[in-house]
Structure formats: C-alpha cells, structure tokens
Amino acid sequence: MKMGKIGNIMRSINKRSLKYGSLSIVLIAAAVAVAIIVNLLVTAIQDRGIINMKFDLTSSRLYSIGDTTKEILQQLDKDVEIYGLFDIGEINSNLSLKQIKEVLSQYEKYGHVQVKYLDPDKEPGLINEIDPTGLKDIRKGDFVVKSGSKVRKLLANEIYRTEYDYQTGQATGASFIGEQGFTGAIKYVASDKTPVVYFTQGHEEGQVESNYTLLKTQLESNNYEVKSINLMIEEKVPEDAEILIVASPKIDISVQEKNKLKDYLKNGGKAVLLFDSLESNPKFPQFEDLLAEYNIGLNYDKVKETDPQRYYPGDPSAVVLDVPASNVIQREYQLLLAGSRSIKVLKNQKDYITVTSLMKTSAKAVGEQIDKSVGPDNQGPLDLGVAVEHNGGTKQSKLLVMGNGLFISDAARQQYGQYFDYGNNFFTMSLSWMMDKKNEVVIEAKSLDTERLNMTSAAQANTVALLTVIVFPLLILGFGIFVWIRRRHL
C-alpha cells in the first residue's frame, strides 16, 4: 500500500516536473524568437534611416560629432565628397576604419556631404579622377576630401595620434583626432579663399616641415596655406602674405629685413614674433627698433616661478599661466611656457596704439637676468604675451609678441603633452583675431584609452572585495534556495 502511494506521488512529481520543464522550454524558445525578430526589425529601421536608434555611450563621445562641426556643416553651401580608398572587406573588419565610418555617417546627415568607399585596385582611374595633377600623392589607404577642384588628403597622424612619455619614449595612450581633421578639410575645400601664412627663415628658426608639423596641420585644418620665406632673398614680403610668423629666432634680422617688415606692417600687415630666452644671450637691436614703434620691448632674462602651483613639477622655468578671455582670445586657456623671456610694455603711449596684455606671471615670479652685470632681476608679475593694434599707418596692423616660441613646436608635444594642445589652440585663436575670423576648427582630441576603476584606499578595495566575493554570491545563493523551496511546495 505504502509503495503504491509512493509511486503515485513520484508519478505526480514527474508529471509536474515535465509540465514546468516543457513550459520553461517553450518560454525560452519564445524569448529567443522575439529577440531575433526585434533585432531584425531594429536593424532594418536603422539601415533605412527611419529612426536613429544608435547611441554613443563612450565617455569621450568617440562616435559623435561636436557643436563646432555641426555649425560648420549647417553653414556649408557647397557639395563635398569624402573618399575612403579601401577594400570594402577591410572597412568592415578593421575596428579603426569602422569607427571612422560611423563618425563620417554623422557628416552625411547634413546634406552637402557624401561619403564614398572605393577600392582603387578595382577602379584604376579613380585616383586620377580625384587628383588629376597628381600633386597630392593619393594612394590606396588614404582618406580624401574634395569639393570642385580643391582636394585635401588626410594623413594618418590627422586621424589618430599616439601619446608618448618623453622621458622613456614609451607609448602611453592614443587619441582620435579625426573629427578635427575631417572638419578642417571640409572647411578648406569649401572655402573660396585660402589665406597664406609665412614662417620666416634665415635666423636659425625652426623649420616648418620638421619642427612645426603639428601646428602646420592645425593651421591647414583652419584653411590656411603655410609657406616659408627668407627675407634676405625676397625683395619684399609677398603680396599674398596674410600673416608673417617669426618663431624662435636666435640671431637678429638685418636692417634691410627690418625695413621690409616695417613696410609690410605699415600697409596693414600682421605679424607674430616669438622670442625664447637664450643662454647665449644674443642681442636683437633691429627687432627692438621694430617693436619700439608698437610700444613693445624685449627683456634679456629667463622667467622662473617660485610658487610650486605655477610651474611644471621639477622645473620652475616651465611656467603655467592662466590666460583670461579677452577681446583677442574669446575663451580662457591654461598654457605652459618653458624657457621664456619677459616682454616690456613701453611707457611712451600713443593714442593710435592699443596694447593688450594676454598673459602674466604671478607676483612671485622673477625674470633672472642672463647677464648679471646688467642690473637686478625683473620682478613679477611679468608680461609673457601681448597683442598690439596699430592704427597709425595707411591700414591697421596687428602684432602678437610673446616671450616664448617653444610652446608651438613639435618638441613641446613630446615634453608637455596636453599643454601643447592648449598652446596650439590658443595660437590658432590668436591668428583668428588677426584675420577677424570666426568659427575656427578647434576640436579636442578624444581619448581611446579604456577607463579603469582605481582604488584610492585599502578600505575601498576591501569593500569591493567583500561585495563581489561574499555578499553578491550569498544573495544569489539565497535567492536560489528560496525558489527551490517554493517550487517544492507547489
């Protein structure tokens, strides 16, 4: 009898288990089917562009475009083509290219931009069609932006940038700078006029093609053409020179060069003069004579900060400056200027000259005289950068004079990392003031580094360990026991 009852109970349990097991299988199969159908529907809707159901959840917005790009695209009145010269299979399999493709799809939403991915190996005449002159040296693997007859090729270092520790030479991270590159290229090819910026040569300045390559790229992204000039050879400053840049000279200009510069400035010219502090302490009487007409002078010193909060760790001569917003620079910047000399604002005021101080050291800074026999050191606050507007000639002329030229060089990127980006952006905005331009392309780099959770104390580490190793597993185990007991009593 008892055995019969036990058998009935077991059959009842088996039937119930089969019932609930079958129900579980059906529910799981239904859930999988619904998930597949929903995924197919969402993909179809997304591909047809009916509804944008993609969301950029990356901390640095890697797959999105910013307000500066959106504003430029909204104002675009010319058709622009962007070519990705790759094998289609490579685009779909390469993670970096897939990211670029997603970003460029945001550009296409604004109407005047069309993106094409074509393989030159399969279309032999494509490169010649894009660049008939062959001057751009376009090859498979390049991105090219074109509008009408204007073409701009983007180099690899205009899309991705590797960060290095300048002391060890080891790579420390990577950044996506493609938005700056593509937006700048669009602005360049869609512009009717491209202003020319000349860097002077002949006074032991750095070479544009080797010492200022990163700045050159940024200027080109803002629709400037960058050239070099030797005023000892040229009869005068060229007519197409919108801005003349003298970056870190180590010897003085000649009287003839000074006169050419004066003539250029009197006729509405614009110039940037950047002077470093030099241990050899060469004198610049011709530069000083030129600057005196703008109420500016040079000090032959080396600026150091005594406040540890105002200089780069371990180097009091690498001064950290807060640059306030002004009529020259529309936003605040923090710059690092290493090995600077101070600038003098002369007292012989003239009504037709306006001098704007752009950046000063703290009151605790000192300008140590290179030649100690000259006199006492210069005491802070010290001017390290000024902007000058001169309305005494036939046309208004403008000067930017700074006691530092290192901050725009490639060496500054290697030594001071992000401070270089701030300096480059500040410099670009300064040229914008000179040109009375707006809407410059200054877009921050987007880090590709994976963010990590850093424990700042042992207590935090112990709390996380307790939760993940003991508390959460016990909660899961407890919930499982609760479900098991409840099902036994069904």
Provide the β-strand partners of residue 357: 386
Residue 368 shares a structural domain with residue 395: yes
Give the best-scoring range by mean pLDDT among 90-94, 145-149, 469-473: 145-149
Across 199-220, average pLDDT: 90
Which pair of structure tokens corresponds to residue 280?
A: 């050899």
CATH code, domain carrying 236:
3.40.50
Instruction: Please give the share of the chain, as a percent, with pLDDT higher than 90.
Output: 31
Residue 268 shares a structural domain with residue 319: yes
- Which position has the higher pLDDT, 57 or 461? 461
Query: How high is the pLDDT of residue 126?
Result: 87
Asked whether residue 227 is assigned to any structural domain, the reply reads yes
Asked whether residue 398 is assigned to any structural domain, the reply reads yes
Residue 172 shares a structural domain with residue 264: no
In whole angstroms, what is the distance from residue 364 CA to residue 381 CA?
7
Range of the domain at 118: 62-192
- Count of CB atoms situated within 10 Å of the CB of 73: 21
Q: Which amino acid is residue 297, in one-letter code? A: G
pTM of the model: 0.70
Asked if 257 and 231 touch (Cβ cutoff 8 Å), the reply is yes
In whole angstroms, what is the distance from residue 68 CA to residue 73 CA?
9
Asked if 367 and 340 touch (Cβ cutoff 8 Å), the reply is no
Instruction: Please give the share of the chain, as a percent, with pLDDT higher than 70.
Output: 80
Asked if 203 and 252 touch (Cβ cutoff 8 Å), the reply is yes
Angle at 284 between CA 283 and CA 287, to 5 degrees: 170
Residue 214 shares a structural domain with residue 320: yes
Exposure b/e, 236-255, CB count within 10 A at least 16 = b: ebeeebbbbbbbbbeebbee
Query: How high is the pLDDT of residue 52?
Result: 54
In whole angstroms, what is the distance from residue 139 CA to residue 156 CA?
12
Rg of the chain on CA atoms, in Å: 32
In whole angstroms, what is the distance from residue 403 CA to residue 338 CA?
10
Dump pLDDT digits (tens) for 265-309: 999 999 999 999 998 989 999 999 999 999 999 999 999 999 888
Query: How high is the pLDDT of residue 102?
Result: 87
Q: Output the CA torsion sign for 430, 236, 212, 445.
A: positive
Angle at 457 between CA 455 and CA 460, to 5 degrees: 65
How many domains is the chain partitioned into structurally? 4
Instruction: Look at residues 140, 159, 192 and tell me which one is the last residue of a structural domain.
Output: 192
Residue 187 shares a structural domain with residue 277: no
Residue 183 shares a structural domain with residue 199: no
Residue 184 shares a structural domain with residue 210: no
CA of 395: how far to CAs of 258, 265, 469, in Å?
19, 9, 75
Across 395-419, average pLDDT: 88
Pairing of strands 353-360, 366-369: unpaired
Asked whether residue 391 is assigned to any structural domain, the reply reads yes
Dump pLDDT digits (tens) for 74-104: 888 889 999 988 887 787 788 888 888 888 8
Report the helix count and the strand count for the chain, using DSSP H and E: 14, 22
Residue 227 shares a structural domain with residue 348: yes
Residue 120 shares a structural domain with residue 209: no
Residue 233 shares a structural domain with residue 281: yes
490 pLDDT band, cuts 50/70/90, is: low
CA of 457: how far to CAs of 453, 465, 471, in Å?
12, 13, 20
Residue 379 shares a structural domain with residue 246: yes
For residue 171, which phi and psi values (nearest 5 degrees)?
Answer: -70, 135
Residue 350 shares a structural domain with residue 471: no
Instruction: Look at residues 192, 211, 238 and tell me which one is the last residue of a structural domain.
Output: 192
In whole angstroms, what is the distance from residue 184 CA to residue 11 CA?
77
Asked if 219 and 428 touch (Cβ cutoff 8 Å), the reply is yes
Q: Which of 85, 86, 66 is nearest to 74 (CA)?
A: 66
Across 159-172, average pLDDT: 63
Asked whether residue 451 is assigned to any structural domain, the reply reads no
Q: Which amino acid is residue 450, in one-letter code? A: T
